[in-house]
Amino acid sequence: MSDDEVVLKIDHLTKYFSVRKSFLQALSRSASQMVHAVDDVSFEVKKGEVFGLAGESGSGKTTVVRTALMLTRPTSGSILFKGQDISRMSQRMLKKYRPKIQIVFQDPYESVNPRMTIFEIVSEGLYVNRLVSSRAEAIDKVTKALRDVQLTPPEEYINRHPHELSGGQRQRVAIARALVLDPEIVLADEPVSMLDVSIRAEVINVLLAIRQKRGISILMVTHDLALSKDVVDELAIMYVGKIVEKGPAQQVVSIPYHPYTHALTAAVPVPDPEAPKVRVLAKGEIPTNISPPSGCRFHPRCPFAQAVCAEKEPPLEEVAPGRFAACHFSKEVHEAFSKGLDGPVGSNAAF
């Protein structure tokens, strides 16, 4: 259903944060350290598409979202909203674009004000952005948004407070708050991870329905690969500030081109006691973003790593139609995974 119009383009985005020095370090005038939160990341979100960003904590996915919202300015690179570079705009100019790029936060217990009614929560943005001229108009828009997130009949909800709603309903209020401003893209940062599994589907299905109905694009951050496969069209996997693999979600999750993606999928438990158990294929722990490993950032943990991986950083390249990976051995890796192996062909890493 997506056509080719690009709504959001992230172009060579880099964001470093400086680490606060301790008193002694400041005295000794040592060079300040930088956290490489996001390092040269590019992708496009098309109209009506659900784009997923997945990875472990510290991979930089939330920083991408915060920068795309212009809550923090990029160190370098640009963010284009329908061709307009918003990363260099003044706050005043940005105001015009803010309603078009909206966010739904992770925790609906924290993100809605408990003292406001549902009407106040959903309509606040309309007043802030001066999008309505009368209360009647506001009520009309709020009602419509509540109907779109299936809080029906809306009249029953507008005067309630958040504590009267379940977690799933609260998250739908948060979606309505984004929707009421008529955005072109909604960024959803782990929108269901705080919710019980039994009600996750209700929130996901609402997001998919608004995409269908209004042609809104969705940029979804998630760590749940099983869910991505069912929800996301295009999926990018991030590792220590970089995109290591990108492509159609189902393909990426079923047979990856990057060993890290495979390590993630092998660690996902499946709801079937007779299925093979989870496997830990990445050695050690995720490195810090302060001094990431040389060459390929995954090489110290990778079963396929060779000398070149420590020396040269692999670029993100198209390795098959629509499939991108940043790995020197993506072809070999893909071949091994297609054969059901967890390591290089010829080793005995099969399960």
Name the residues that contact other proteins, by CB under 8 A.
56-57, 166, 168, 196-202, 204-205, 223-227, 229-230, 250, 253, 263-275, 277-280, 282, 285-286
Which residues have a Cβ under 8 Å from the Cβ of 271 and sit 6 or more positions away? none
Buried b (16+ CB within 10 A) or exposed e, 307-329: eebeeebbebeebeeebbbbbbb
Helices 167-179 and 197-214, axial angle in degrees (round to 10): 20
Q: Tell me the CA distances in angstroms from 274 to 257, 262, 271, one per residue in order.
A: 27, 21, 9
Nearer to other proteins, 170 or 177 (CB): 170
Minimal distance, residue 196 CB to other proteins, in Å: 5
Nearer to other proteins, 278 or 308 (CB): 278
User: For other proteins, which is the closer residue by CB, 11 or 224?
Assistant: 224
DSSP-derived secondary structure for 188-243: EESTTTTS-HHHHHHHHHHHHHHHHHH--EEEEEES-HHHHHHH-SEEEEEETTEE
Q: How far is the CB of 271 from other proteins (least distance, A)?
A: 4
How far apart are CB 342 and other proteins at their closest, in Å?
A: 13
Please give the helix or strand (H or E) that residue 124 lies within, else none: helix 118-128
Decide whether 70 or 327 has the Cβ nearer to other proteins: 327
